[in-house]
Amino acid sequence: MKCIAFSALLLMVQIPAIPQSRSHARSMVIATSGIVATSQPLASQAGAQVLARGGNAVDAAIAANAVLGVTEPMMNGIGGDLFAIYWEAKTGKLTAINASGTAPAKLTLDFLKQKGNSRMPDAGIHSVTVPGAVDGWDKMHRKFGKLPWSELFQAAIHYSTDGFPVTETIHGHWQDSRMQQSIRADANARRVYLPGDAAPPVGEVFKNPELARAFQLIAKDGPRTVYEGEIARAIVATSQRLGGTMQLSDLAKFSSEWVTPISTTYRDWTVYEMPPNGQGIAALQMLNVLEKFRVDDHELLSAETFHTRIEAMKLAYADLGFVADQRFGKVPVEGMLSKTYAKQRAALLDPERARCNVDAGDPPATSNTVYLAVIDKEGNIASWIQSIASVWGSGVVVDGMGFALQNRGSYFDFDANHPNRLEPGKRPRHSIIPAFMEKGDLHMGFGIMGGSNQPMAHAQFVSNFVDYGMNIQAALEAPRFTKVYTGGCDVMVEGRVPAAVREGLTQKGHDLTVLGDYATGMGRGQVVLRDAKAGVNYAASSPRGDGSAIPEPAPSILPAKSKDRRQ
C-alpha cells in the first residue's frame, strides 16, 4: 500500500520537482482575495467584479449565474431551478436552499393521459414546472447578500444587450442537431436562438434584447416579477398559447425551501450533499461503499480502481428509486446513509467481475446544468448549481422575455404507485447537486455537471483528492468514467485512460466506449477551497469546458495628480 503522508497544506500545493512533469493541464488559482469559478469566463469575471465592489460570495454567485443565463442559454437561466449550499466563515455554519419548482396544479397524470401520453413528456409545454431559480436567488440574497439587488444584474443586461462572442463548448451544444430539436419545435425559440435558422458560430457576437428586458425587470421590479408581475404574466400567456396548464396562482404561491444538508464521512473528511428530492445521496452512498476498500492499494489509472468505482456506483444508483419529494412521502435517508448498510452493499461487489444488473437494496427504516463556485476574501463559500434540465429545457421560450422554460417535469414517474409520481404541487426527483466537504481548517465547495453523471463524478473527485493526494485541479481533471443508464455493463471512459487499463476492464466484463481525452460528457466542474488557518483561497475549473477561475481584482490605486507645469 502506498503511504500518503502530506500535511494538509502540502496536500493542496505540493509542487513537483520538475514543474513540467505533471498529469493535469491547468494550475490552481491561488489568492488571498475572493475567486469565482464558472463554466464561462465572462461569468467568472462578472462575479469577480462584484466581489471587488464590496459584494460577498452570494452577491457574486447571483451575478455570475445571471451572466451564465445569457452565455449558456441552453443550460440554465431564469426559467430553471437552483440548489445552493453556503458556508459562512464567521459562524462555520452550513446553510442550503432547495429552489426546485413544483408541478402546476392542473398538470396531473389524468390530464396527460387524456392528451395521449403514456409517459412523461420529454419536452414541450407539458414538461414545464414552476421555475424556482429567481426565488432562490432572492432568498439567498435577503439572508446573506451585501450589495443592493439591482446592482447584481448589470453584467447580464450588458451581455444580453451588446452581445457576447460564442465560445467553443457552448457552440458545440448550440449547433448539435439533436439538441436543437426542442427549440425548432417552438417558433418563438427558433426566432430567438437560431437567427438565420442556424446556431451562431464560434466567435460570433450573439445578442438577446428580449432577455435583457427580462433582467431589467428583475433588477428594477424585484424577483417577484417572475412570480406575480410582468414576467409571470408572460410565462402564463406563453403556456396558454401552447395549451399548457401553468396559472398565475402556481407561480404566486411558489416558495423555495431552506433545508439541512445530508452528509457522510469519507476517511477523515465530512462530505455534504443536498437531501432528496435531489440525487446527491447517491454520491454519499457511493463513497460509503468505496470506503470499505483501500482503493489506493492500486494506482488511480488501473483496471482495479476503475472497476471498484464503477461497481460502487451501480450499487448506489440502484437505490435512487427511493428518492422523491419528502413533503409527499418518507425517503429512508438515514438508512441509505448507514455505514452498516454500506457494508452490506459493498459485500456484493465482485472485484473480478462486472455486475450488469444491480437490484435496489433494502435500507433500514430509520440534465444539463451549470455549476459555479465562489469564495470571497472572508472565506465564505457559495456552492451553487442551476439548470433548465435538458439542453434547451422544454424548448419553449417565453414570449417577449427571451429565456427558455425548464422541462424538469420530465423527471417525474408516470407510474401512479411510484414515490416520484407526478402530483400537483410536487417537486420531481432532481439531478442537480452542489456539494461541500471539510476537514479541520480546510473547507471546500465543489460541483460537477451532467445529469445522472453528477453523483458518480462527485465521488470520483473526492476519492482522487482524499485517496491519491491530488490537489483540487488535478483531482478535477483526472480521467473519469460515466454511465448514462445505471443498468447494463456499458460504461464510458475518457481517452486518457491507458489502453492496458481499458483492456483490464474489458476482461472484467465491462463494455467500454472511449470518448475524447477531455469529454464534456464527463461533466464540467468547478472547485473552491479555503485554508482558514493560512487565510488562503484556492480554485479550479475543469478543462472539459470553456470555464475559468478568476480572482477578485485588487483595489484600484489612482495615480497621484501631476503638477501643472505652467505653474
Instruction: State yes or no: pLDDT of 477 exceeds 80.
Output: yes
Task: Check residue 20 and give its pLDDT.
Answer: 57
Backbone angles phi, psi at 39, to 5 degrees: -90, 10
d(C-alpha 200, C-alpha 144), whole Å:
38
**Domains of the chain, first to last:** 41-258+369-411 (no CATH), 262-368+432-551 (3.60.20.40)
Left, alpha or beta for 535 (phi > 0: left; psi -120 to 50: alpha)? Answer: left
Cell of 234: 408572460
Instruction: State yes or no: pLDDT of 13 exceeds 60.
Output: no
Asked about 369 being catalytic, the answer comes back as yes
Under the banding of pLDDT at 50, 70 and 90, the label for residue 365 is low
Mean pLDDT to the nearest integer, 202-216: 98
Question: What are the C-alpha distances in Å from 315 to residues 319, 345, 420, 462, 510?
Answer: 7, 7, 20, 18, 15
Residue whose cell numbers read 443508464: 485
d(C-alpha 195, C-alpha 203), whole Å:
15
Residue 38 or residue 296, greater confidence: 38
Residue partners of 81: CB distance under 8 A and separation at least 6: 99, 100, 101, 129, 131, 132, 133, 136, 386, 387, 388, 389, 406, 408, 430, 432
Amino acid at 28: M
Q: What is the mean pLDDT of the chain?
A: 92
Contact 236, 242 (CB under 8 A): no
Instruction: State yes or no: pLDDT of 43 exceeds 50.
Output: yes
Question: What are the tens digits of pLDDT across the range 534-552?
Answer: 999 999 999 999 999 999 9
d(C-alpha 122, C-alpha 407), whole Å:
7
189 forms bridges with which residues in the sheet?
none
Instruction: State yes or no: pLDDT of 14 exceeds 50.
Output: no
Contact 410, 127 (CB under 8 A): yes
DSSP string, 37-83: EESSHHHHHHHHHHHHTT--HHHHHHHHHHHHHHHSTTT-STTSEEE
- E runs forming strands in 137-259: 164-165, 205-206, 257-259
257 forms bridges with which residues in the sheet?
98
Instruction: State yes or no: pLDDT of 451 exceeds 60.
Output: yes
d(C-alpha 546, C-alpha 45), whole Å:
13
Helix or strand (DSSP H, E) at 370: strand 368-375
Question: What are the tens digits of pLDDT across the range 49-83?
Answer: 999 999 999 999 999 999 999 999 999 999 999 99
d(C-alpha 180, C-alpha 194), whole Å:
9
The catalytic position among 369, 482, 486, 513 is: 369
